[in-house]
Amino acid sequence: MSLEEYYPVSCPFCAISVAYPPSSNSPIPLSPDPEKVFPQCHLILSTPHVLAFLDILPIAPGHILLTTRDHYRKLSDLYAASTHSQEESKRESAQESSRALGEYLPLVSAALVRATGIEDWNVVQNNGERAAQVVPHVHFHLIPRYQEGRREGKGNVDVGMLKSWRMFGRGAREDLDDEEGVEMARCLREALRVELGEEGSEGGGGEGGSKL
């Protein structure tokens, strides 16, 4: 199978998957270059089976997408591939992808809480156009919900006045500012390192685990 067949060129998440291969040293990339793809990708996590990065149209600052490295359109496609695939390699990859999603969803959630100081967040997963799935590649949204009237502003990130929450992830969406994205992603990677017990820091505007 060719690379083009394995990673559909029309899928932006597959383009990210190709641009940011996993490292053998850590699932948390060290200062990844956001300009490897267009629009920029602010990467947080890169493993053999899943990736996490900031949504480029966030509902709230820190809005994260957790997705599979391999291309599956809907959540049920993971099950179909893991049980009905004729090829053992595809079956094993789908099973590993399912396990990795389950493993990293709570870990990325904990890092989101640590980095932003929020107490509440949504986890949203859409399947198909009628369910508001925009990118046809299975992914989870982790959307922080800031308490009413809270004003954030530390380092290079100014998230402004934010409302408390809106049901099912609906809310105002604006283009992610690239400079803010760089700083937010760095803080999230630092927080994830703390959650995983990894040492080291990328430097910049704060210590690992500091809140924005």
* 83 vs 108: CA distance, rounded Å: 27
pLDDT digits (tens, 9 = 90+) for 167-200: 454 556 778 999 999 999 999 999 999 999 987 7
| Tens of pLDDT, residues 81-127 | 999 988 999 999 999 999 999 999 999 999 999 999 999 999 999 99
Phi, psi of 160 (to 5 degrees): 75, -165
And the tokens for 192?
């994830």
Measured CA to CA in angstroms, residue 120 lies from 28, 112, 167, 210 at distances of 24, 10, 12, 18
Residue 198 has, within 13 A of its CA and on its CB side, a CA count of 18
Distance CA 212, CA 113 (A): 11
User: For 72-86, what is each residue's pLDDT tens digit?
Assistant: 999 999 999 999 988
Q: Provide CB contacts within 8 A for 202, sequence distance 6+.
A: 30, 31, 186, 189, 190
Domains of the chain: 3-196 (3.30.428.10)
Model-level pTM?
0.83
| Active site amino acids | 139
List the one residue out of 207, 161, 157 whose CA is nearest residue 182: 157
| Helices and strands in the chain, H and E counts | 5, 7
CB 67 within 8 A of CB 140: yes
